[in-house]
Amino acid sequence: MAKTAAYQTLRDEPVTLQNGSHTALVMKFDLPNVVAGRKSILSYVADPFGDNTVSIEWDLNGTNILTHSFNTGEARALQEIVGADLLKDQGNELKVRVTDTAGGSIFLSDVVLWFTQDV
């Protein structure tokens, strides 16, 4: 069966995550015909604000895939290569949460997952 690159937009609108109030975002999605044995790529825009010091953690289907700390207020687009065998056809869950206790805040948007798909 032929394989092709595909993507799934998981979040287009900005969301604010901050310690003490809205600390996490959960995105649930299906990926029909995903090739689970291949690595994927998580892409997102991060914009820390306030005191600009904030740490976030990303979990995909219960596995930590990224921990990142910010200490400046510049917006930036980031990517992370995600290990193989974490995605499935149905019932995927991507969770991002603020992990520090210092009161940091962050805007997140444009969350996209690139993956390989059977066609």
pLDDT per position as a tens digit, 83-100: 999 999 999 999 999 987
pLDDT tens per residue, the chain (119 residues)? 678 999 999 999 999 998 777 899 999 999 999 999 999 999 999 999 877 789 999 999 999 999 999 988 889 999 999 999 999 999 999 999 998 767 778 999 999 999 999 98
Question: What value does the mean pLDDT of the chain take?
Answer: 93
The CATH fold assigned to 3-118 is Jelly Rolls (2.60.120)
Q: Count of CB atoms within 10 A of residue 60's CB?
A: 21
pTM for the model stands at: 0.92
Please give the Cα distance from 113 to 33 (Å, whole number): 14
Q: Pull the structure tokens for residue 72.
A: 């400046």
Please give the Cα distance from 27 to 8 (Å, whole number): 11
Please give the Cα distance from 34 to 59 (Å, whole number): 18
